[in-house]
Amino acid sequence: PVWAALEARAGDPAPAVVELQGGHRTVTFDQLERRVRELAAGLAAEGVRVGDRVALLVPPSADLTAVAFA
């Protein structure tokens, strides 16, 4: 799956996403992988299943990256 590379880097402290707009924020691969898992679990708890299409409004950010993987 597309997220396999992200799972493989769980625990990696290297930067995965760097936000430069509206300040400076760095998210590590470890943090991103954890957030993707949390979001995916939340979506599943709300009834979202594989193959479902959903629309989420998320500004361009590390959060958008996490939602896209989730």
pTM of the model: 0.86
Residue 1 has pLDDT above 80, yes or no: no
Neighbours of 32 (CB within 10 A): 21
Distance CA 42, CA 68 (A): 14
Task: Return the pLDDT at 3.
Answer: 79
Task: Return the pLDDT at 23.
Answer: 81
Distance CA 49, CA 10 (A): 24
